[in-house]
Structure 1
Amino acid sequence: MATTDGDANLMREKAREFAGRWNSTRTFIAAAAIVFVVLGSVGALGLWSSLIAFVVLAGVAVLQSILTGEARGTMMRTATTQPLSAAALLGSGAGLTILNELPDPLIILDGTGRVALANRAATPILGPSPVGKHVATAIRSAPLITAIEEVMRGGAARSVEYSVPVPVERHYDAYISPIDTEAAAAVPGVDPARRRRDRPVLVLLRDVTDMRRVEAMRVDFIANASHELKTPLASLSGFIDTLRGHAKDDPQAQERFLEIMSDQAGRMRRLIEDLMSLSRIELREHVRPDSVVDLLGVVNDVTDGLMPLAAQNAVEIVVTAAPDLPKVRGDRDELGQVVQNLADNALRYGRSGKRVEINLAPDAKAGKPVVRLTVRDFGPGIAREHLPRLTERFYRVDAAASRAKGGTGLGLAIVKHIVNRHQGTLAVDSEVGRGTVFSVLIPAAGEAKPAA
C-alpha cells in the first residue's frame, strides 16, 4: 500500500532513531563483555559470576533502548496527530498565579482556536470556566477573530482594535502573537509548516474605552470652542461691512450697530477668559491649596459686586450664615469664582423667582467638618434628565437662551474643577417650576492638610 510523504518521513525518522539506539547499545554491551572477561581472568570475579553479571547488564541495556524508542515514538505520533497543548507547554500553577495578577485580560489559545489558558482579568470577557471554549463563541468580534485566524495560519504578530457594543459600549486594543516554544520546536518528525499552524497563540487585550472617551471629549471641546468664537466673529464682521456700506452716513444705525458689536466683543472676551481660567485650574487641580479663607467674606464681596445686576433684574439676594462658621482651607480667588458663577447663574436663569438665597453652614462629611455653601433660586428649574450633564463643557439646557443671557457654557465646568481641587463635592437638585439648589462642601481648615 502506498504511503503519504508524511508517513514516509516518519518511517525514515524511526529507522534512523532505531539505528542510532542499536549502535549505542551494541557498543555498550561489547565494552561490558571486555570488562567482565578481564575481571574473570585476573580472578577478581568467578567465571559464573562474571557471566551472570554480564547477561543482566546487557538485558537492562537492551530493555532501556526499547523503552526509550517507544517513548520517543509516542511523542512523534502525538505531535503529528494533535495540536500542541498551550497548557502543557506554558501553564503551571505558579505561572497562572502570576498571570492572574495582570490587570489586562490575557488569553492563550491552542492550535485549534480553543482557550487553553486565561487569567482572571479575562473572565468578564470569556465568562466562567473558559478553558476548552472556542474563542469565536466567547468573543463576538469579526476583526479580532480574523486576526487570530491569520496568526494561526502562520502569520506574524499583529494588533487590532475592536468594539463591544453591549451591554455597555467598550473599546479594546488586542495584540495577537504566536508562541514559539522550545517543546514544540524540539519534537522530531513534525513538518515545520504544521508546527507553525499548530503553535499556541497569545491574545493580550487592553481596555482603551476611557482613552477613546477622552479623545472624543477633546474633539468636542475644540469643535464647541471654535463654534462659540465663530458666531460673534461672524456677527462683528457683518456689522463692520454694514458700517462701511449703507450705514456709514446714518448716526442712529451706527450707534445701534456699535452697541451690538460691543456686546459680541464682550461675549468673546468672557469666553476666552473662561477658557483660560479652566485651563489654569485643570493644570493645578492636583495641587491642594493651603491658605485659610473666610468663606463668608468671599460671599459678601461677590454679592456686593452682583447688586447692580440684581437690581437691574429686580432680584433680591439674601445671604445667611451660621455664627460658628469655621474657616476653610483653599484659594480665595478660586472660591470667589465658585460663588460668582453659582450666584450669577441664579440671577440669569432664576430671576423669574425674584429671590436668590445664599447660605453658609457648618456640616460634616465622612466624620470630618466641612462648610456647606448653598445657592438657591426660585426660577423655572431644570428637568432631571439634564442634571447629570450640567458640569460638562459647553453643555446648555437651552443654548439659545444661554447665549442671549451672556453665558459661555463653561461656568459650571469651572466650578466642578475648583471644587475638585479643594477636595470638596458639588451637588445639584432641581424641580421644574420650583427652582434649583446648588450645594458645595468645602473641608474646614482645622481638618484640611496643608499642600505638599
Structure 2
Amino acid sequence: MAVAGLAVATAAIAIGFGLAPWWAVIIPAVLSAVAGALLVQDPPSYSAAEANVPSRDSYDPPAHELIERIEHPFIVVDAKRRVELANAMARKLLGEHIVGQDVRLALRNPAAAALLTEGAPPGSRTELLDLGGQDQRWELLADPIGNDKQAVRIVDRTALRAAEKMRVDFVANASHELRTPLATLIGFIETLEGPAVEDADARRRFLAIMRGEAQRMIRLVDDLMSLSRIEADKHRQPTAPVALIPLAEEVRDALGHRLAKGERKMLIDAEPGLPPVAGDRDQLLQLLHNLVGNAIKYGRPGTTVKVRLRRDGASMVRLTVEDEGEGIAAEHLPRLTERFYRVDPGRSRSVGGTGLGLAIVKHIVERHRGQLLIDSEIGVGTRVTALLPTAASLG
C-alpha cells in the first residue's frame, strides 16, 4: 500500500499546485491505488463448488474509499473474468448482484465481453449501447492492473453523442438553407442567359427575385455569425448597466417602415423608474429586434405590437413582446427555440425568416443568466417574455 499511498499523495500535490487538471491526475492515481490494493494480497482462491469472491470490505480502506468516490461506474475483473469489485455507481447501473458474476453476464455486451475475456491491452475501449436506457450511450475503458486483473471504467457519453448529433443536424440544416436560394439564383441566371435574354420585363422580374434570394442568404449568414458570437461568449455574463426603454424606442424607430406597411402600431408600456439590467447592449438590441420583428411578421394587419417592461421581484426585469396573430399550437412551443425549426416553413421563408431568430433570443437570454418564456393561444396571439437580472442585483 506504500505505492498506492504515494500515488494518491502525489496526485493531491499535483492538483494543489496546479500542475495538472484533476481528471488527468486522479484517475491514474486511483488505478495505481487499486493495483496496489490488489497486488499486496494473495489472489483469491476458488473452489469447484463455489466462487469465493472477496467482498468490498476485504480491500484496504483508503483504496476502497477512493474506488467508491470515482464518479463513473468502476469495476475490477479478476483472472477468472468475474466481477471482483464494483463501486456504488457501477452497482447502481448494473445491479447490486454483479459482484461475483461472470463479466459477460454483468455487461451483456458482446464487444465488451470479448475485450475483457481476451485480456484487454492498456487503454482498450469500446462503446456500449442502450446500457441503462434505450437512448443512453456509454464507453467502456479497460486497463490491466496486475495478477491478470483489469480495472474497468464505464463513462456516460450520452451528452457528447447528443452534442455531436446537434452539430451534424445543424450543418445539414444550414447547408440546406443556403442551397435553396443558391439553386434559385442559378436557375434564374441560366434563364437570363437563354430564353429571357431579350425580354426586358422578364429580366426585371427575375433580377428582383434574385436580389431577394441573395438578401435571404445574407440574413442567414448574419444570423449564423451572430449565433456563433453569442455562443462563444456564453460563459461570460455581461455586467454593464443597460436601460431597456431607450432600446425599445430605438427598435420602434428602426422597424417603423415595416409597422407602417401593415398598418400596425408598436406600444411601449414601461413601469416608471424601471432599473437598468445587467447586459450587453448590442445583444439586447438584437433580442428586441428579433422579438418585435417576429410580432410584425406574424401579427395581423392593423393590430398593435405591445412591448411591456416591468419589475419582477427585487432582482429581475420582465420584458414581454406580444402580438395579435393566429397563435401557435401548444405542441410546437417546446421546439420554437431550436435552430431552423419552423411551424410553417413556407410562410416563414415567404416573410424572410431564417429559422434562427428565436434560437438567437434563447442564447442571448441564457448568456444574461435570464429566463425565456413563450405562451400562445390559437386565434389570439403569442407572448414572449424574457426575465433579465438588474444591474444592481450583481452588486
Q: Partner of 1:246: helix, strand, or coil?
A: coil
Q: TM-score, normalised by structure 2?
A: 0.82
Partner of 1:436: 382
Find 2:284's aligned residue among 309, 312, 335. Answer: 335
Partner of 1:394: 340
For 1:139 and 1:355, locate their aligned partners in 2 and report how far apart those are by CA, in whole Å: 61
Q: Partner of 1:433: helix, strand, or coil?
A: coil
Partner of 2:71: 103
User: Which 5+ residue runs of structure 1 have no aligned equivalent?
Assistant: 1-74, 182-198
Where does 1:1-20 land on structure 2 (aligned, <5 Å)? none
2:251 aligned with 1:283, yes or no?
no
Find 2:352's aligned residue among 406, 409, 417. Answer: 406
How far the C-alpha of 1:129 sits from its partner, in A, is 5.0
Deviates more, 1:277-286 or 1:171-180: 171-180
- Deviations along 1:375-395, one digit per CA (max 9) or x if unpaired, are 112222222222222112111
- Deviations along 1:360-389, one digit per CA (max 9) or x if unpaired, are 00112xxx4211000112222222222222
Higher Rg of the two aligned structures: 1
Cα gap change, 1:150/1:431 in structure 2, threshold over 3 Å: closer, same or farther? farther
2:121 aligned with 1:156, yes or no?
yes
Q: Partner of 1:162: helix, strand, or coil?
A: strand
Where does 1:364-383 land on structure 2 (aligned, <5 Å)? 364=313, 368-383=314-329
Aligned length: 352
Q: Partner of 1:281: helix, strand, or coil?
A: helix
Where does 1:206-245 land on structure 2 (aligned, <5 Å)? 206-245=155-194
Deviates more, 1:374-383 or 1:77-86: 77-86
For residue 128 of structure 1, what is the amino acid of its counterpart? E
Partner of 2:95: 127
Partner of 2:262: 313
Q: Partner of 1:179: helix, strand, or coil?
A: strand
Partner of 1:350: 299
Q: TM-score, normalised by structure 1?
A: 0.72
- Deviations along 1:319-351, one digit per CA (max 9) or x if unpaired, are 201112111121111101000101111111233
Find 1:94's aligned residue among 41, 46, 62. Answer: 62
How far the C-alpha of 1:287 sits from its partner, in A, is 1.6
How far the C-alpha of 1:148 sits from its partner, in A, is 2.2
For 1:241 and 1:165, locate their aligned partners in 2 and report how far apart those are by CA, in whole Å: 54
Q: Is the 1:175–1:204 Cα contact (8 Å) retained in structure 2?
A: yes
Q: Is the 1:84–1:110 Cα contact (8 Å) retained in structure 2?
A: no
Partner of 2:12: none
Q: Is the 1:374–1:437 Cα contact (8 Å) retained in structure 2?
A: yes
How far the C-alpha of 1:165 sits from its partner, in A, is 6.4
For residue 199 of structure 2, what is the amino acid of its counterpart? D
For residue 306 of structure 1, what is the amino acid of its counterpart? L
For residue 110 of structure 1, what is the amino acid of its counterpart? D
For residue 367 of structure 2, what is the amino acid of its counterpart? R
Find 1:326's aligned residue among 256, 275, 278. Answer: 275
Q: Is the 1:320–1:358 Cα contact (8 Å) retained in structure 2?
A: yes
CA RMSD of aligned residues (A): 2.5
Q: Is the 1:392–1:413 Cα contact (8 Å) retained in structure 2?
A: yes
Partner of 1:249: 198
2:109 aligned with 1:141, yes or no?
yes
2:210 aligned with 1:261, yes or no?
yes
For 1:440 and 1:97, locate their aligned partners in 2 and report how far apart those are by CA, in whole Å: 46
For residue 130 of structure 2, what is the amino acid of its counterpart? V
Q: Is the 1:105–1:204 Cα contact (8 Å) retained in structure 2?
A: yes
Cα gap change, 1:87/1:424 in structure 2, threshold over 3 Å: closer, same or farther? same
2:116 aligned with 1:170, yes or no?
no
How far the C-alpha of 1:262 sits from its partner, in A, is 0.8
- Deviations along 1:388-436, one digit per CA (max 9) or x if unpaired, are 2211211112222211111111111111111122111111122333321
- State percent identity of aligned pairs: 43
How far the C-alpha of 1:95 sits from its partner, in A, is 1.4
For 1:200 and 1:245, locate their aligned partners in 2 and report how far apart those are by CA, in whole Å: 76
For 1:99 and 1:136, locate their aligned partners in 2 and report how far apart those are by CA, in whole Å: 22
Cα gap change, 1:402/1:124 in structure 2, threshold over 3 Å: closer, same or farther? farther
Cα gap change, 1:77/1:381 in structure 2, threshold over 3 Å: closer, same or farther? closer
Q: Is the 2:265–2:302 Cα contact (8 Å) retained in structure 1?
A: no
Find 1:118's aligned residue among 86, 105, 113. Answer: 86
Deviates more, 1:265-274 or 1:133-142: 133-142
Q: Is the 1:125–1:138 Cα contact (8 Å) retained in structure 2?
A: no
For 2:370 and 2:321, locate their aligned partners in 1 and report how far apart those are by CA, in whole Å: 16
For residue 333 of structure 1, what is the amino acid of its counterpart? D
For 1:113 and 1:76, locate their aligned partners in 2 and report how far apart those are by CA, in whole Å: 13
For residue 156 of structure 1, what is the amino acid of its counterpart? P
Q: Is the 1:381–1:436 Cα contact (8 Å) retained in structure 2?
A: yes
Where does 1:39-78 land on structure 2 (aligned, <5 Å)? 78=45
For 1:78 and 1:209, locate their aligned partners in 2 and report how far apart those are by CA, in whole Å: 39
How far the C-alpha of 1:143 sits from its partner, in A, is 2.1
Q: Is the 1:85–1:200 Cα contact (8 Å) retained in structure 2?
A: no
Find 2:372's aligned residue among 426, 434, 441. Answer: 426
Q: Is the 1:85–1:110 Cα contact (8 Å) retained in structure 2?
A: no
Q: Is the 2:53–2:100 Cα contact (8 Å) retained in structure 1?
A: no
